[in-house]
Amino acid sequence: MMDFERSSINAFADKFTTTTNPSIMSGSFFYLQNSIQRKVQKFGLKTNYEQDPTFAHHINKIAALAFLHPNDVGQGFDDLFNPLPQILHPLLNYFEDTYVGRNLLQGRSKPMFEIEFWNMNQRTTDLLMRTNNSAEGVSPTRQTGPHCVSTVLAMLTGKKPEDFQGKMNTQDPCSWSRVLQPYGMKLAYCPMDVRKLKFYMDKLIAFDDLFTLSYYTTLDPKEILADPDNAGWITGSHIVILHRNQIIDPVLGRTTPALEHECNDYHTKRIFRVVPCDYVRGL
């Protein structure tokens, strides 16, 4: 499962495709969503998207075309185009040229990325992964002592917490990302504020991906908003993994449905998405 970089796709196909071993590649739904979001910003639609739920729903419908049968995507796009507000037409034109193909008298032109590459219909039917990170099984590990960060890193990589202790600063996420890179991953910062995690959880679950969630373990706003000391310490906090719709908590050493975990009642400290180490954005 790959991103939507033409050079990466060509390199992969050249290396792994033979007459007896055809390369089977598919795009990640995560990267499809990201490409749409980048255009949302480019076309000046970010404020509308963030402040108008109906407008955001319209944009999400575009990505949802990935779940139609490949033979139905073209008609689905046409059915979607006219009812949507005109302000979305530049975004729709981009999507049509890049992912669907322009509708011409002789049929559709060839898009930059074939529908079969980014379509998720069969993968969803077969219960296969839709993102890179959902391919990685995360086995719950129970922490020993005050080592929640190193335990989370161990769960992400399949190593032991001891392998990370002393190699990173528990108050410095850049150092977490650095020790993850030899294992093919890094952390990408997700914009957030200190509202309780329950206000983010539904949207995070909808991404169907892999995140680390850090939250304060106090509910006292004076403690949360206090100045950090020289080591970056402010007040007590904890970190868990969100994998699709499950929280993996190093304290409990087991998984819990995300909407039922206690983290929802606490204020957000940091949210990071776990991404491939060659991803364009990240620490």
Do 139 and 89 share a structural domain?
no
Asked whether residue 282 is domain-assigned, the answer is no
Do 159 and 55 share a structural domain?
no
Pairing label, strands 254-257, 246-249: antiparallel
Asked whether residue 130 is domain-assigned, the answer is no
Instruction: Look at residue 46 in the predicted model and tell me its pLDDT.
Output: 86
Domain boundary among 91, 125, 159: 125
Do 184 and 207 share a structural domain?
yes
Nearest to 27 by CA among 86, 111, 94: 111
Instruction: Look at residue 25 in the predicted model and tell me its pLDDT.
Output: 43
Instruction: Look at residue 126 in the predicted model and tell me its pLDDT.
Output: 53
Strand order in the sheet with 246-249: 185-189, 268-276, 210-216, 237-243, 246-249, 254-257
Asked whether residue 224 is domain-assigned, the answer is yes
State the Cα torsion 203-204-206-208 to the nearest 10°.
Answer: 170
Do 175 and 104 share a structural domain?
no
- Exposed/middle/buried for 156, CB within 10 Å: 0-12, 13-18, 19+? buried
Do 84 and 43 share a structural domain?
yes
Do 157 and 34 share a structural domain?
no
Entry pTM? 0.54
- Name the residue range of residue 193's domain: 135-276
Instruction: Look at residue 124 in the predicted model and tell me its pLDDT.
Output: 60
Say if CB 139 and CB 152 are below 8 A apart.
Answer: no
- The per-residue pLDDT string of the chain (283 residues; one tens digit each, 9 = 90 and over) reads 444 444 444 443 444 344 444 444 455 666 777 788 889 889 999 888 878 888 888 888 898 888 889 999 999 999 999 899 999 999 999 999 999 999 888 888 999 988 888 887 776 655 444 444 443 457 788 887 778 999 999 888 888 889 898 898 888 899 999 998 888 888 999 888 889 999 999 989 988 888 999 999 999 988 888 888 887 778 889 999 999 899 999 988 889 999 999 999 999 999 999 888 767 677 7
State the total domains in the chain: 2
Do 153 and 98 share a structural domain?
no
Do 145 and 58 share a structural domain?
no
